[in-house]
Amino acid sequence: MSSAVRQVSVLGSTGSIGVSTLDVIGRHPEDFQVYALAAHRSVDAMLAQCEQFQPRYAVMADERAAEALRKGLAAGSVTEVLCGDAGLEQVVTAPEVDCVMAAIVGAAGLPSTLAAARAGKTLLLANKESLVMGGHLLMQAVRDSGARLLPIDSEHNAIFQCMPADSEARPQLKGVSKILLTASGGPFRNWTHAQMAEATPDQACAHPNWSMGRKISVDSASLMNKGLEFIEACWIFDVGPEQVDVIVHPQSIIHSMVQYVDGSVIAQLGNPDMRTPIAYGLAWPQRVDAGVAPLDLITTARLDFEAPDEQRFPCLRLARESVASGGTAMAICNAANEVAVEAFLDERIRFTDIPRVIESAMERVTSVEPTDLDVVETADREAREAAREAIGTLVS
Ligand code: NAD
Ligand code: MG
C-alpha cells in the first residue's frame, strides 16, 4: 500500500468488529501496526491478542481486569496495561496514533470516540451509539479538529463510497437527492407480533446474514439498528430525515445506495462481511485485500426489496420521532433501548416490550439542547432510570 506504516488503536478489540479489524490488520503487517488494544473485562481474549499483535498499550475497563492482564503477560512484555476512561483517552490521543477504530458497544464508547475526534485522528466509526447520542458534539469536534471520519457501519460505508468525491458537507449541493438505506429486515422479518412476543434471545441473535455482537443483533431484529443508522446517516452526511429512505433488502448484498437528481442510483455491493468496510476504512483512500470472498452474483441470483413495516417494528418509528424531536431525544431513545435490550437478553422482558420501554422513557424524559457532554450524559442517565422504572412496571 503506502510507504508509512499506520499506527492503529483498536477499541473494543475483543468484540465482533474488533476481531475482524485485527484479522484485516494481520493480513497487512507492512501497512498497519497495532498501537493499542482496549476491551471491557475479557482478559483471556485480550491476552491472546497482546501476544499476537504486541501493542504498546492494552486498556481494560477497570483496575481488577487490568491487574489480571498484567499478571498474565509474560515478564518483559512490550505491552503496558492501562485502565478506564483515562487509559482510553491516552491511547486515542497519543501523537503516534494515526487511526482509531471506535468499536466499543453502546454509550460507553462516546467519551473515547469524542476524544479521538477532538485529537484530529482518522476516526473509523463503528460505535454508532456515540453518534446517535452525541451527534452534534461529535460532528462539531470532527470539524473543529480536522479529524477524518470514516464510517464503518456497512450501510454508511457503502453510502460514503457512493457519494460524489469531496462531498463532506451538504451532498445535496452535489446533485444528491436521497440516501437509500438498506435493511435486511432481521430474523423476524416475516414473524407476526404474537410470534415475536414469544421470541427468545437466541432467536433474536440468529441473524440471517451477519454475525455480530448480541446487542446489535437484537437491535437488528427489532429494526432499532436501522433506526440508529437512520440517525447516524443524518449526522454523517449532513442531510435531513426526509432525505433518507429505509428499504428492506433481505439478501444484504446491496449495502446502501445514493440517488441523484438526474435519476442515477449508485449502489455498493458485496458479501455481508464487515471486513470489507473495515479494510476500506483502514486503507482509505487506497484499497487492500480484506480476506473476503468475491461476490458471486450468479449464485446470489436475486435482489429483493420491500417497504419496512413500522407497525410490527415500532422501534424504527421511535428512532424517527427522536430525530424529529431533536436535542437530547436521540440520546434518550438510545439509552432506553440499551436498557431494554439488556433486560430482554436477561429474559426479564419480552422482545415486544422493547419498544414499549423506549416509548415510555421518551415520553417521560424531556429533551433539551445537547450543549455539552454533561448534558448528554445526564439525558442518558435519566433515560436509563425511566427505562428501568418502565421495566419494573412491566414485570410486576
Ligand atoms: P461486541 O459486543 O461483539 O463487542 C463489544 C466490544 O466492546 C468488546 O470488545 C467489549 O470488551 C468492549 N466493551 C464493552 N463495553 C466496554 C467498556 N465499557 N469499556 C471498554 N470496552 C468495552 O459488539 P460488536 O458487534 O463488535 O459492536 C461494536 C460496535 O460496532 C457497536 O456499536 C455496534 O453497533 C457497531 N457495529 C457492529 C457491527 C457488527 O457487525 N458487529 C456492524 C456495524 C456496527
Ligand atoms: Mg449496519
Cα–Cα distance, 285 to 301 (Å, whole number): 31
* Ligand 1 neighbour 113 (Cβ under 6 A): no
Q: Which numbered atom of ligand 1 lies nearest the CA of 17? A: 26
pTM: 0.97
Amino acid at 225: N
* Ligand 1 neighbour 12 (Cβ under 6 A): yes
Q: Give 179's strand partners.
A: 244, 258
Mutation to probe ligand 1, out of 104, 128, 280 (largest number of atoms < 8 A from CB): 104
- Evaluate whether 55 touches 28 at the Cβ level (below 8 Å): no
Cα–Cα distance, 395 to 391 (Å, whole number): 6
Q: Compute, in angstroms, the gap from residue 13 CA to the centroid of ligand 1.
A: 8
| Number of C-beta neighbours around residue 234 at 10 A | 21
Instruction: Return per-residue pLDDT of the chain as tens, 396 residues.
Output: 766 999 999 999 999 999 999 999 999 999 999 999 999 999 999 999 999 999 999 999 999 999 999 999 988 899 999 999 999 999 999 999 999 999 999 999 999 999 999 999 999 999 999 999 999 999 999 999 999 999 999 999 999 999 998 766 666 668 999 999 999 999 999 999 999 999 999 999 999 998 999 999 999 999 999 999 999 999 999 999 999 999 999 999 999 999 999 999 999 999 999 999 999 999 999 999 999 999 999 999 999 999 999 999 999 999 999 999 999 999 999 999 999 999 999 999 999 999 999 999 999 999 999 999 999 999 999 999 999 999 999 987
Cα–Cα distance, 344 to 358 (Å, whole number): 13
Q: Which numbered atom of ligand 1 lies nearest the CA of 20? A: 26
The secondary structure element, H or E, covering residue 119 is: none
* Cis peptide upstream of residue 208 (ω within 30 degrees of 0): no
Q: Compute, in angstroms, the gap from residue 265 CA to the centroid of ligand 2.
A: 20
* Ligand 1 neighbour 379 (Cβ under 6 A): no
Mutation to probe ligand 1, out of 50, 129, 212 (largest number of atoms < 8 A from CB): 212
Cα–Cα distance, 312 to 74 (Å, whole number): 53
